[in-house]
Amino acid sequence: MSERRIRKEKFVGKLKEAIAEYKNVLIVGVDNVGSNQMQKVRVALRGKAIVVMGKNTLIRKILRDMIEGEKLTKLEALLPLVVGNMGFVFTNHSLPEVRKIILDNKVPAAAKSGTFAPADVYIPPGPTGLDPGQTNFFQALNIATKIVKGAIEIVSEVHLIKKARK
């Protein structure tokens, strides 16, 4: 058997075991989440929950097989949720407690061009640290500025990007 096949069968066993052992599941979206942050969440959840992430097509196949073979019709509700960059958090503890642990490990991420904004983005008023020769940059973006003590300062808060826009 190839290494890939062995790895897939190991994942199938892990997911089936988690579904059988745990009574609660949280579905988490992991867009813009770094590996270091994921590791911190896993450490924080140790002993209370496990995080299972894998290929969506393989997860859907496992869920369909369990629905048909083992007659676990409750799993049908999970199938439409297996989309995009997501994972499962299986637990026997209370869901609000586990959710709080996950949200406590949430950190803001720097904006990247081409990605969708998870929230509205505002530029706060105040000094920019740029010299007065670069005012044309702000003029092109229609951002009101003034020069104070040899540095450009933004006059008022600017709404840069609306939620869910590139």
CATH number at residue 62: 3.30.70.1730
Domain membership of residue 90 (yes or no) is yes
Residues found in the chain: 166
Q: How many structural domains compose the chain?
A: 2
25-42 confidence digits (pLDDT tens): 999 988 888 888 899 999
Q: Report residue 136 as tokens.
A: 């044309």
The confidence score (pLDDT) of residue 106 equals 85
Structural domain of 51: 3-104
Please state, in angstroms and as integers, the Cα–Cα distance from residue 104 to each residue in 35, 37, 80, 148, 149, following that order.
16, 11, 27, 39, 40
Please state, in angstroms and as integers, the Cα–Cα distance from residue 138 to each residue in 1, 69, 151, following that order.
60, 62, 13
The answer to whether residues 31 and 88 belong to one domain is yes
Domain membership of residue 111 (yes or no) is no
The answer to whether residues 7 and 55 belong to one domain is yes
The confidence score (pLDDT) of residue 135 equals 85
CATH number at residue 153: 3.90.105.20
Kindly provide the residue ranges of all beta strands, DSSP E only, lying in 39-117, ordered along the sequence: 49-52, 86-91
The domain boundary, picked from 76, 104, 132, lies at 104
pTM for this predicted structure: 0.72
79-135 confidence digits (pLDDT tens): 888 998 899 999 999 999 999 999 998 887 777 778 888 788 888 998 888 888 888
